[in-house]
Amino acid sequence: MGALRGVRIADFSRVLAGPYATMLLGDMGAHVIKIERPGLGDDTRSWGPPFDAQGRSTYFASVNRNKEGVTADLATGAGRAKALTIISESDVLVENFGVGVMEKFGLGYERIKDEFPRLIYCSISGFGASEEGKQLPGYDLLVQAMSGLMSITGPDSEHPTKVGVALVDVVAGLHAALGITAAIVSRNETGHGQKVEINLLSSILSGMVNQSGAYAGAGVIPKSMGNAHPSIAPYEAYKTRDKQIVIAVGNDGQFAKMCAALNAPFATDSRFSTNSDRVLHRKELNLLMTAILHTKGADEWVAVLNKVGVPAGPINNIEQAIELAERLELDPIVTIKDSRDGTTSKTIANPIKLSETPVGYRYGPPSLGIDD
Which sequence positions are flagged as catalytic?
A: 169
Collect all residues with Cβ–Cβ distance below 8 Å to 77 and sequence separation of at least 6.
none
Q: What is the 3-state secondary structure (H, E, C) of the chain?
A: CCCCCCCEEEECCCCCHHHHHHHHHHHCCCEEEEEECCCCCCHHHHCCCCECCCCCEHHHHCCCCCEEEEECCCCCHHHHHHHHHHHHCCCEEEECCCCCHHHHCCCCHHHHCCCCCCCEEEEEECCCCCCCHHHCCCCHHHHHHHCCCHHHCCCCCCCCCCCCCCHHHHHHHHHHHHHHHHHHHHHHHHCCCCEEEEEHHHHHHHHCHHHHHHHHHHCCCCCCCCCCCCCCCCEEEEECCCCEEEEECCCHHHHHHHHHHHCCCCCCCHHHCCHHHHHHCHHHHHHHHHHHHCCCCHHHHHHHHHHCCCCEEECCCHHHHHHHHHHCCCCCEEEEECCCCCCEEEEECCCCCCCCCCCCCCCCCCCCCCCC
CA distance 245 to 248: 10
Query: Cα(98)–Cα(76) distance, rounded to whole angstroms?
Result: 18
Residues with Cβ < 8 Å from 206, sequence gap 6 or more? 171, 175, 212
C-alpha–C-alpha distance, residues 5 and 143, integer Å: 34
Which residues, including other chains, have CB under 8 Å from residue 100's CB and lie 6 or more apart? 108, 134
